[in-house]
Structures are given as C-alpha cells and as structure tokens.
Amino acid sequence: MASLFSETLLPTTTELPEGYSVRPLQRTDYQKGFLDVLRVLTKVGDISEEAWLERYDWMAKRNEEYFIICIVNGEGTIVGVGSLVIERKFLRNLGAVGHIEDITVQSSEQGKKLGLRIIQTLDHIAQQVGCYKCILDCSEKNQPFYEKCGYKLAGVQMVYHI
C-alpha cells in the first residue's frame, strides 16, 4: 500500500481505543473518508478522486516535507487526521520548524483522546526529522485542547487574505 511517508517515523506504540490505529496517509484514502473528516474542520469543496490523487502524488514527491497521518477505526474508516509540514531554515544552524495543520476528529469520535494522540504523533515525527519546535495557529476555543497537548500560547496570529 503506497504511504505518504515511512511508518518507521511513527512512535512504536500509540494508546488508542481497541481496534483503532494510526498510520501515514495512503494513496487509497480518498475512499476511506479522509475528506469527510476534513469537512468537520472547514470547507473542503467538491474534489474529484483524480484531483485528490494529483495532490497526493505532489506531496508524496516531497515526503521529507509533508507528513499527514490518519487514525483509522476497526472498520478501516478514517476518523481523525493531522498534518505536519516541515520548514527548513538557515537560522539556528540550518534548523527546522514543524508546522502543525488541519487537526480534526470526526464529530462522533471526539472526546476519546484521538486529537491528543494525533498531536503526540506529529510531535514525535517532528522530533525524528530534526525540528527544534512545532508551532500552530488555532481559535481561542481550541486553546485549552492544545494546552492539554503541552502547547503554550506564544505570539499573535496574523493573516493576509488574498
């Protein structure tokens, strides 16, 4: 099964409900509810499978940069997702920063610590690939969740809408 990145970057164990597992995004995940989970977070649009595969292949060619994980339930349906994008820098001795993006858990599956496990898994991958920190933007509503995941408030989010 084609995976976006190597499973060896995942933690050796992840505490999840019985039958659930965490894995890298796979090329067949269009059929497994990936976009439905993203729709819990925001507008996704009407994306064809062909367009989805084109974007997947673009990311797979950059698989030292794009790390998308899925939590899958016992039936093989995707119930939680999260992304880590690696930014490589000149400063801090050619350091790297992990950007945590698009964390979302299917509404019926929230409150089972899946969000926490997604963040812990992405933080682990970031450490494995040499990041010195991870950062993210979120709404005030989600601030307590990220604090439970060990994140601290730092700075102000700015946006320029194009």
- Residues 6 or more apart whose CB falls under 8 angstroms from that of 152 comprise none
| CA-wise closest residue to 126 among 145, 154, 147, 151 | 151
Cα dihedral 12, 16, 121, 43 sign: positive
- With 0-12 CB in 10 A as exposed, 13-18 as middle and 19+ as buried, what is 27? middle
Candidates 16-24, 60-68, 125-133, 139-147 — which segment interacts with ligand ACO by CB under 6 A? 139-147
Cβ(105)–Cβ(78) below 8 Å: no
CB 86 within 8 A of CB 128: no
Binding flag, residue 135, ligand ACO (CB under 6 A): no
Q: Residue from 7, 8, 50, 111 that binds ligand ACO (CB under 6 A)?
A: 111
The answer to whether 79 and 20 are in contact (CB under 8 A) is yes
Residue from the set 9, 16, 38, 116 that interacts with ligand ACO by CB under 6 A: 116
CA atoms within 13 A on the CB side of 13: 2
Q: Is 148 in the site for ligand ACO (CB under 6 A)?
A: yes
142 binds ligand ACO (CB under 6 A): yes
Could you say whether residue 101 binds ligand ACO (CB under 6 A)? yes
When the beta carbons of 27 and 99 are compared against ligand ACO, the nearer one is 99
Judged by CB under 6 A, the chain residues 32 through 71 that form the site for ligand ACO are 40-41
Closest approach of ligand ACO to the CB of residue 107, in Å: 8
Examine residue 112 and tell whether it contacts ligand ACO (CB under 6 A). yes
**List 72, 81, 114, 122, residue binding ligand ACO (CB under 6 A):** 114
CB of 5: closest distance to ligand ACO in angstroms?
A: 19
Q: Which of these segments, 14-22, 53-61, 133-141, 152-160, binds ligand ACO (CB under 6 A)?
A: 133-141
